[in-house]
Homo-oligomer: A and B are copies of this chain.
Amino acid sequence: MFTLAKPLARLIAELSRLPGIGPKTASRLTFYLLRAPKEQATALAQAIGELRQNIRECEICFNLSDENPCAICSDPQRDKSVICVVEEPLDVLAIERTGEYRGRYHVLHGAISPVDGIGPEDLKISELLRRLDKEKIEEIILATNPNLEGESTAMYLHRLLIPRGIRVTRIAHGLPVGGDLEYADQVTLIRALEGRREM
């Protein structure tokens, strides 16, 4: 039986282990790298190899950063009275991209999911409560994902935070901008109706 050259097979196997990359994409990328300028492959290999060397969690918000505290937490321009709670560092990136949010963050590093055995104690929740003891927070925006785990986490946090007299808000659910009402799922449509506002 025909076997692929070992260095090719090895890279295809390694790439296939990445999420969302199947064997076909992995082969395509492998042959691409084989033809690309040598510098490109070297730069990629180095970037992967050095990825963890300078990355740690910010001691305040637990976002990933090469500084501690991170650039956002140490920025005097940011509103220190608002914390936006997100599940993952990528969510911080998504919200920062909007350019609309001027407060700070708290990264939970996951969401409550009994099916996956992830409880509140596995997330940075006690760290969030400790922040509330130290910092003067007026509003907490719960920006966990609009799915089962994200909603459970938001509800859990809501129950925990309300007794502290802090304003707790949840990001809005509704139809995505540019979306099509006709194709919206029922739950989104119900939420969009519930969340309707005066024009």
Residues 1-32 of chain A, each 1 if its beta carbon lies under 8 Å from chain B, else 0:
11111111011011101111100010111111
Q: Say yes or no for A54: interface residue by CB 8 A criterion.
A: yes
Known A6-B54, A55-B34; contact A90-B28, beta-carbon cutoff 8 A: yes
Copies in the complex: 2
Q: Say yes or no for A126: interface residue by CB 8 A criterion.
A: no
How far is it, in angstroms, between the C-alpha of A195 and the C-alpha of B6 when the chains are bound?
A: 39
Q: Say yes or no for A46: interface residue by CB 8 A criterion.
A: yes
A19 pairs with B11, CB closer than 8 A:
no
Known A18-B29, A31-B90, A90-B27; contact A6-B66, beta-carbon cutoff 8 A: yes
A5 pairs with B55, CB closer than 8 A:
yes
Q: What residues on B are CB-neighbors of A19 within 8 Å?
A: 28-29, 32
Partner-binding segment picked from A36-44, A127-135, A136-144, A173-181: A36-44
Residues of chain A having any CB pair with chain B under 8 Å: 1-8, 10-11, 13-15, 17-21, 25, 27-34, 38, 40-55, 64-67, 70-72, 75, 88-90, 93, 96, 99
